[in-house]
């Protein structure tokens, strides 16, 4: 059947199982939007307020489901507005396909109106990208893009389609959904080396990262931990892989990780790392990291083995398969000393948390907010965040009860990510979605409130409002002599009125009681976003903290 | 500290528009410092061959290879054996002064180079060989202080024997 390039694009998206896309039209995408109009009963397009919101929505859609998120923008500024969203997806290995229109081939290279070399710009922030020169290549390029995005270590792929290719006609034959390229299976000799290390360990620590988070390994990991008397910790990206009610789980480790988790990792004699990349935020000073431990690393990406940390056994391939085979060989163990050490670390952690909480005179502390969220959120709630102190408190306090329930920008740390991503996650799952944000981050992309209102997307937005850029302020307090350069916002924004102006419901909470009332009301709302503006202390700290460049020995637990 | 070594990497890439940019952009992003890079056609019209020479320790070499292999248009990456055949071509323009003319012409003869342009005030010389031979020739010309301009292609290299990298 003969179709235009724009129609082939949309038909191929539908063929690849895409039901929702996020984007923004423009001069060089009109044909694509015309095709979306034509096939609108098969594919739903969400118009965002800004292309960056569309990219984050596609990303959130993917994080919450594992499906490939799709965003669309026009050439020039439309395409460049996607850039932060694409980079965010790249750093967290999120499968995404970004589609951009471009000026006709005859105008390429002439600095034409709204022409930009978006494949050049996105070269280092995509897994791969395409400039489609010929309509003959269009459908297959899209299929390849989907395959690359979701295979191996996932990531974003961009396809740039000049206008003449969108307009040209060519035969289109539907094909089946492309399969992931199967990952290699680990060699048995390596599996056996890992088993030997595991069986020799006396203080084993299982370390879960983003590469394991979406695989549904939670139960299997828990079972192994119980059998070999190990504890489980995770990276930021590994959050929600393990349910927090698992008593072997010590939570996130690293710069703002749980005290017990970071210290247990330091004390471990074996770190069984699954889908982690040993980022600087997780390891601290890498030359002092895990000096006393053997390390087993499982990863789908061969380039991650020995990149940041030298490991004893690095196993490339399907991590769930490798894990299962290693777990099978692990013998039952009893490590009473290790249990005692960890129990003491946990007691210390509880004491530090209680001390910090008691020392605060504020009527509403971050911990109180999260206690209420944890108690009242329905099961399977997706928690999205922006970036900053609120994000780290979320990582520390939120109790997750299912995988893919944590949507947050880890690697790139993109302020302004949250609202778009929460919208995408809610559209994808239909589940209760709560966005935890701060007044700094929210201020960056709050225009997407309009999107949530228009499409009646029920995102509960908990705005932890301290009137400052809290994370940078915390560093300024600790390391820059309290010189609060440009971190005191001192804005007069009334977030309740602002939300109402967008057509959203809004509440204000100064106390725990007010917050609970507002949060419970907000959860009942199903036809649009709700903003809860909560007042927290500008000097509340995220603790513990490893100072930048420091190691676990330099951990700060008190203000 | 592991000691730095010079090594040569051959890379087969899709013979397509923009692939060289992908490779060099990755070097920039990951902070790899390349000594020389050449690119050209191969026995197969589908592929181009990039020859990269760089110095670094084992870690740098491993990282470079891993990151190259991750690129979609890269089909094959091999570190060449130390005994591989390496050649480089240089064009060098030197002053044609009576004081050094005989020395330069003797050097051209000894190094099996070729004078390809000869005017009243300059000589242009073509020399081919492995990089150390070229280095030695440059050093000699520097000793005379007569270099006007020079350019080197960077090395191309093949492994010995009948195997090709593509079917290795």
Asked if domains A2-171 and A188-344 share a fold, the reply is: yes
Per-residue model confidence as pLDDT tens digits over A420-442: 999 999 999 999 999 999 999 99
CATH number of the domain at A188-344, please?
Answer: 3.40.50.1220
Q: Which of A7, A15, A16, A51 is catalytic?
A: A51
Minimal C-alpha gap between B17 and chain A (Å): 10
What pLDDT was estimated at residue A385?
Answer: 98
User: Given an 8 Å threshold on Cβ–Cβ distance, is A307 in contact with B66?
Assistant: yes
Question: Mean of the pLDDT values across residues A114-131?
Answer: 97
- CB of A100 closer than 8 Å to CB of A54: no
Report ipTM for this prediction: 0.86
What pLDDT was estimated at residue B101?
Answer: 95
pLDDT at B140 over 90: yes
Q: Average pLDDT, whole number, for chain B?
A: 92
Fold of A2-171: Rossmann fold (3.40.50)
Kindly state the helix (H) or strand (E) to which residue A159 belongs, with its residue range: strand A156-162
Chain A residue numbers with beta carbons less than 8 Å from the beta carbon of B67 are: 303
Check if A370 is active-site.
Answer: no
What percent of chain B clears pLDDT 90, i.e. is strictly above it? 76
- Phi and psi based region of residue A8 (left: phi greater than 0; alpha: psi -120 to 50; beta: remaining): alpha
Closest CA relative to residue A532, chosen from A476, A462, A467, A470: A462
Rg (CA), chain A: 24
Chain A residue numbers with beta carbons less than 8 Å from the beta carbon of B70 are: 301, 303
d(CA A222, CA A103) in angstroms, rounded, equals 53
Check if A500 is active-site.
Answer: no
Residue B98 and residue B59 in one domain: no
User: Given an 8 Å threshold on Cβ–Cβ distance, is B18 in contact with A307?
Assistant: no
d(CA A296, CA A283) in angstroms, rounded, equals 15
pLDDT at B166 over 90: no
User: Given an 8 Å threshold on Cβ–Cβ distance, is B18 in contact with A131?
Assistant: yes
Residue B95 and residue B68 in one domain: no
Contact with chain A for residue B55, Cβ under 8 A: no
Residue B62 and residue B116 in one domain: no
Residue B12 and residue B71 in one domain: yes
What pLDDT was estimated at residue B20?
Answer: 94
Q: For strands A313-316 and B36-41, give the pairing.
A: unpaired
Chain B residue numbers with beta carbons less than 8 Å from the beta carbon of A123 are: 21-22, 25
User: In this structure, what CATH number is given to the domain that contains residue B127?
Assistant: 3.30.70.1150
Chain B residue numbers with beta carbons less than 8 Å from the beta carbon of A124 are: 25-26, 28-29
Residue B50 and residue B90 in one domain: no
* Best A91, A117, A120, A124 residue to mutate vs chain B (most B CBs within 10 Å): A124
Residue B65 and residue B15 in one domain: yes
Domain final residue, candidates B44, B63, B79:
B79
Residue B92 and residue B128 in one domain: yes
| Superfamily of structural domain A361-535 | Thiamin diphosphate (ThDP)-binding fold, Pyr/PP domains (3.40.50.970)
- CB of A271 closer than 8 Å to CB of A313: no
Domain final residue, candidates B79, B109, B135:
B79
Domain final residue, candidates B63, B79, B95:
B79
d(CA B111, CA B133) in angstroms, rounded, equals 8
pTM, whole model, 2 decimals?
0.95
Domain membership flag for residue B162 = no
Domain membership flag for residue B165 = no
User: Given an 8 Å threshold on Cβ–Cβ distance, is B72 in contact with A307?
Assistant: no
Q: What are phi and psi of A9, to 5 degrees?
A: -55, -55
Contact with chain A for residue B31, Cβ under 8 A: no
Closest CA relative to residue A85, chosen from A62, A59, A66, A61: A59
Closest CA relative to residue A22, chosen from A317, A338, A427: A427
* Best A303, A308, A309 residue to mutate vs chain B (most B CBs within 10 Å): A303
d(CA B165, CA B12) in angstroms, rounded, equals 8
User: Given an 8 Å threshold on Cβ–Cβ distance, is B69 in contact with A119?
Assistant: no
What pLDDT was estimated at residue B33?
Answer: 86
pLDDT at B4 over 80: no
What pLDDT was estimated at residue B41?
Answer: 93
The stretches of B1-130 forming alpha helices (DSSP H) are 19-30, 58-70, 101-110
At what angle are helices A366-376 and A512-524 packed, to 10 degrees? 40
Q: What domain count does chain B have?
A: 2
Say which of A123, A148, A306 has its CB closest to residue B25: A123
Residue B11 and residue B41 in one domain: yes
Residue B16 and residue B43 in one domain: yes
Where along chain A do its domains lie?
2-171, 188-344, 361-535
pLDDT at A407 over 70: yes
Per-residue model confidence as pLDDT tens digits over B76-122: 999 998 889 999 999 999 999 999 999 999 999 999 999 999 999 99
d(CA A197, CA B98) in angstroms, rounded, equals 74
Range of the domain at B118: 85-156
Would you tell me how many other CB atoms lie within 10 Å of the CB of residue A444?
18
**Whats the size of chain B, residue-wise?**
168
User: In this structure, what CATH number is given to the domain that contains residue B33?
Assistant: 3.30.70.260
Domain membership flag for residue B68 = yes
What pLDDT was estimated at residue A359?
Answer: 87
What pLDDT was estimated at residue B82?
Answer: 85
pLDDT bucket at B164, cuts 50 / 70 / 90:
confident
Residue B25 and residue B65 in one domain: yes
Residue B73 and residue B115 in one domain: no
Question: Mean of the pLDDT values across residues A309-315?
Answer: 96
Residue B92 and residue B57 in one domain: no
The b-or-e profile of A21-43 (16+ CB within 10 A means b, else e) is bbbbbbebbebbbebbeeeeeeb
Check if A51 is active-site.
Answer: yes
């Amino acid at each position: 059947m003969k179709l235009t390039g724009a129609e082939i694009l949309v038909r191929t998206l539908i063929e690849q199982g895409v039901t929702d896309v996020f984007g923004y039209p423009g001069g060089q995408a009109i044909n694509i939007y015309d095709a979306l109009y034509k096939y609108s009963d098969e594919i739903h397009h969400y118009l965002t307020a800004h292309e960056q919101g569309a990219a984050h929505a596609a990303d959130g859609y993917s994080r919450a489901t594992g499906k490939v998120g799709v965003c669309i923008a026009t050439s020039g500024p439309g395409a460049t507005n996607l850039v932060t969203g694409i980079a965010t997806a790249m750093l967290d290995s999120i499968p995404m396909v970004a589609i951009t229109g471009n000026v006709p081939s005859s105008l390429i290279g002439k600095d034409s109106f709204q022409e930009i070399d978006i494949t050049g710009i996105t070269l280092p922030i995509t897994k791969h990208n395409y400039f489609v020169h010929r309509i003959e290549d269009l459908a297959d390029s899209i299929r390849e893009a989907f395959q690359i995005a979701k295979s191996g270590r996932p990531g974003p792929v961009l396809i740039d389609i000049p206008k003449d290719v969108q307009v040209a006609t060519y035969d289109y034959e539907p094909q089946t959904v492309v399969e992931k390229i199967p990952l290699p299976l680990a060699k048995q000799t390596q599996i056996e080396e890992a088993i030997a290390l595991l069986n020799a360990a006396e203080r084993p620590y299982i370390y879960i990262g983003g590469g394991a988070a979406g695989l549904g390994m939670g139960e299997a990991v828990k079972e192994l931990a119980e059998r070999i008397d190990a504890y489980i910790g995770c990276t930021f990206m590994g959050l929600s892989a393990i349910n927090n009610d698992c008593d072997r789980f010590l939570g996130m480790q690293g710069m703002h990780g749980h005290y017990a988790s970071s210290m247990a990792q330091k004390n471990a004699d074996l770190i069984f790392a699954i889908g982690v990349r040993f980022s600087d935020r997780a390891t601290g000073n890498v030359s002092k990291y895990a000096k006393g431990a053997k390390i087993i690393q499982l990863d789908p990406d061969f380039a991650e083995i020995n990149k940041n940390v030298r490991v004893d056994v690095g196993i490339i391939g399907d991590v769930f398969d490798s894990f299962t085979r290693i777990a099978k060989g692990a013998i039952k163990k009893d490590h009473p000393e290790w249990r005692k050490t960890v129990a003491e670390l946990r007691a210390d952690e509880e004491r530090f948390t209680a001390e910090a909480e008691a020392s605060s005179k504020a009527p509403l502390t971050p911990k109180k907010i999260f206690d209420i969220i944890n108690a009242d959120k329905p099961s399977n709630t997706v928690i999205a965040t922006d970036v900053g102190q609120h994000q780290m408190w979320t990582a520390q306090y939120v109790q997750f009860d299912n995988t893919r329930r944590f949507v947050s920008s880890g690697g790139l740390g993109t302020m302004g990510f949250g609202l778009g991503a929460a919208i995408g996650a809610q559209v994808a799952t239909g589940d209760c979605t709560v966005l935890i944000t701060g007044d700094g981050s929210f201020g960056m992309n709050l225009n997407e409130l309009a999107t949530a209102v228009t499409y009646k997307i029920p995102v509960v937005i908990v705005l932890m409002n301290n009137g400052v850029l809290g994370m940078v302020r915390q560093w300024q307090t600790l390391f820059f002599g309290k010189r609060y350069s440009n971190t005191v916002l001192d804005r007069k924004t009334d977030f309740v009125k602002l939300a109402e102006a967008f057509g959203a419901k809004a509440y204000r909470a100064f106390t725990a009681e007010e917050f609970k009332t507002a949060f419970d009301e907000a959860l009942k709302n199903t036809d649009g976003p709700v903003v809860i503006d909560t007042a927290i202390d500008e000097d509340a700290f995220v603790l513990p903290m490893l100072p930048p460049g420091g190691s676990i020995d330099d951990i700060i637990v008190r203000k | 500290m592991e000691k730095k070594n010079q090594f040569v990497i051959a890379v087969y890439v899709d013979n397509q528009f923009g692939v060289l940019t992908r490779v060099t952009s990755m070097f920039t992003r990951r902070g790899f410092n390349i000594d020389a890079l050449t690119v050209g056609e191969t026995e197969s019209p589908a592929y181009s061959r990039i020859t990269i020479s760089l110095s670094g320790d084992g870690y740098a070499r491993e990282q470079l290879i891993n990151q190259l292999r991750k690129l979609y248009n890269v089909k094959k990456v091999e570190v060449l054996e130390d005994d591989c055949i390496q050649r480089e071509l240089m064009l060098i323009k030197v002053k044609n002064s009576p004081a050094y003319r005989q020395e330069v012409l003797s050097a051209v003869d000894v190094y099996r180079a070729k004078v390809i342009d000869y005017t009243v005030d300059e000589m242009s010389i073509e020399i081919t060989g492995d990089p150390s031979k070229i280095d030695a020739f440059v050093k000699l010309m520097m000793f005379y202080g007569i270099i006007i301009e020079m350019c080197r292609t960077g090395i191309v290299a093949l492994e010995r024997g009948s195997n090709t990298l593509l079917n290795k």
